Amino acid sequence: MNKDYLLFHLKEALEELSRTVGECETDPSYSESELSVAMQHLYHHLNTAWNTHNLSPEKIDKASDQDFNLWGSYPSDLETLAI
């Protein structure tokens, strides 16, 4: 497992989530468009954390824009929780 890259993206996601919660709690004018940007950023880091957790640093260093965009997508190997 590539813990360095995993932790980088999880910490970025945590930072975005904390910032978003703080702004929602304190800014009465916080808008849906601001939330949309924040959620895109949050999901990008969560998805990338999962999609790259087993990749080598060398593979990540050689990533193309296409790889980067693919890694930010919802994981195809992670089942959605159902009730």
pLDDT tens-place string over residues 34-77: 999 999 999 999 999 999 999 999 999 999 999 999 999 999 99
Instruction: Find the DSSP H helices in 27-64.
Output: 32-52, 57-61
Q: What is the pLDDT of residue 54?
A: 95
Q: Specify the length of the chain in residues.
A: 83
Nearest CA to 75 out of 24, 31, 9 is that of: 9
